Chain A
Amino acid sequence: MKADVDAIVLSNTRLSPLYNVLALEAPGIAREVEPGQFVMLKTSAWDVPLLRRPYSVFEIVHDEAGRPLGVSVLSKRVGVGSQQVYEAAPGQHLACLGPLGRPFTAVDAPSAAWMIAGGVGLAPFATLAAALRRRGVAPTLFYGARTGAELFCLDLFTRLGVRLELATEDGSRGERGPVTVPLERALATTPADAPVMVYGPEAMLKAVALLARRHARPSQLAMERLMGCGLGGCYSCVVKVRGEDGGTHYGRACLDGPVFRGDEIVWD
């Protein structure tokens, strides 16, 4: 059930001068949200910015008794909305609408699962990793960033029992180069039918989708788009997809996605 929660900021953890994790009290959303789903945050009570901003849910926050208390988002400061998310103070209220969108489709053991994240695209994989572990699946995370200082929350994923494959553009941690380098090597050397689940910049999504196709791996891609409403009303957040009849049309990332099957997407 979609709800608009007048959410209290529980905590704001700044990970770097650009990245932060904002935790919001929203028990209803926390109970229902599935990996890959998102919330629409009204980052200001006023008109600047006017529209809400879509954020993939990063973690489920629990209270002392272990009950779902809220959700957190992983944010990168790029504009006015994310600046406000970076500056939000505990105790402050933020309208939080969710959960929204089509989630990742988890797999069951004995299948493996490969998660591929670029930068802030790490966001959906903490909840996905937890969901996969509950199904007895041992996930691997291929995680790329510009520098080692922008590889965040590695201990969280280690705690979740995730095997890490790291890459940085400057080579300061893990492999030098894009995350597709270790991924491609693994695809070539590991016979598996594990689905490839990916979120990050569009160029990376495309590269990973094409790699997965070449290695006959099923893929699931979380697509990022500018969104007006998050509910299917505005038709702003479209992604070109191939329908079952073979024809192409624009699907809405907020309703038909954000997670699409790799073979649905029509790349330019």
Chain B
Amino acid sequence: MDLSVQVGPLHLRNPLIAASGCFGYGLEYADVVDLSSLGAIAVKGLFLGERDGHPPPRIVETPSGMLKAIGLQGIGVRRFVREKLPSLRERGAVVIVNICGSTVDEYVELARILSGEEGVAALELNISCPNVKEGGLTFGCNLDATFAVVSAVRRATTLPIIPKLTPNVTDIASFARASEDAGADAVSLVNTFLAMAIDVETRRPKLSNVVGGLSGPAIRPIAVRMVYDCWRAVKIPVIGMGGIAGARDVIEFMIAGATAVQVGTASFVDPFIWGKLEAGIRGYLERHDLARVADLIGSLRLERPIDNGPAAGCA
């Protein structure tokens, strides 16, 4: 049984990737999971420099989901390379480094620094964080800016580059296309949905940042639809994420068009989820008499072809 998948130039032993922002720098989990057993680890988003992030409270639970505004607290790329990367390499982890910048030049600088380091498998371009003013959404909500940042990073590195797309746009597929046109090797989606929760007793926001990003099972059907939209729009691989909590959800995303998936919130709930997901995928392939998990990618069965517009276009 073959669980491996090919994300552009990146070969993964299985389609399971730890989602950025949900797995620290990976090493936090080294004593609960064999880091080399994952398809890859997308480490916490890195700027050039260190960042404090937002004051607490940074998290609040909402129905079947959670709302989070961390503010990209991080140790910066240089400390990451010095303090974390060697240990990740030693443990055989396939490391996708999530990078964030306030300007195109910062993304390019990050790409240059990381291109020279052994043990970086790919770059995920965070152009979709809903919780920081600079960077993030500034790039991810504008097609020209998305194209500009992806093509600039493309010129700066031969590493596989994977823009991480925001769902906080009208037509996410057009951002996948802009990324593809700019030379991206794959796209990953969705980042979290911009959302808000209020304590009605005090009339105060439940997060210090007032708004935050919604993740968890609550967003899964929207994410599946967006993966399907993007899969139909581009030829490069799509990495799907959004509320995956079990093997059936992995399968669902792959049928919708995902080549690989990322898991975030569910690994908070169950840090030992990775082995269970892999076993569940194996069980599914066995029951369906499939030899390769890759055969599931985009295998949605339709009674009749649907038109070329967004699957859930505006009426």
Residues of A within 8 A of B (CB): 1-2, 4, 42, 47-52, 95, 97, 225-229, 231-240, 249-250, 255
Contact = CB atoms under 8 A, between A and B. Distances in A.
Contact of B59 (A1, A2, A95, A236): A236
B28 A233 contact: yes
Given A49-B61, A238-B53, A238-B73, A228 B270 contact: no
Interface stretch (B64-72, B138-146, B234-242, B292-300): B64-72
Interface string B251-292: 000000000000001011111100000000000000000000
Interface of B: 21-24, 28-29, 31-32, 44, 50, 52-53, 55-61, 63-66, 68, 70, 73, 216-217, 245, 265, 267-272
Contact of B32 (A2, A51, A225, A226): A2
Contact of B268 (A47, A226, A228, A239): A228
Given A48-B64, A50-B265, A228-B66, A235 B58 contact: yes
Contacts of A255: 28
Contacts of B57: 226, 236
Nearest to B70: A235
Contact of A234 (B64, B68, B216): B68
Nearest to B57: A226
Contact of A250 (B24, B52, B68): B52
B241 to A, nearest CB: 15
A2 B30 CA distance: 11
A50 B267 CA distance: 11
Contacts of B53: 235, 238, 250
Nearest to A268: B55
A250 to B, nearest CB: 6
Given A235-B44, A238-B53, A47 B59 contact: no
A50 B264 CA distance: 13
Contacts of B272: 4
Given A50-B66, A255-B28, A231 B271 contact: yes
A51 B62 CA distance: 10
Contacts of A1: 31
Contact of A232 (B28, B50, B265, B267): B28
Given A50-B269, A236-B56, A237-B56, A231 B68 contact: no
Contact of A47 (B60, B217, B270): B217
Contacts of A50: 61, 64-66, 216-217, 265, 269
Nearest to A227: B59
Most buried by B among A1, A47, A233, A236: A233
Nearest to A97: B271
Nearest to A234: B268
Contacts of A250: 52-53, 73
Contacts of B44: 235
B268 A229 contact: yes
A97 B56 CA distance: 24
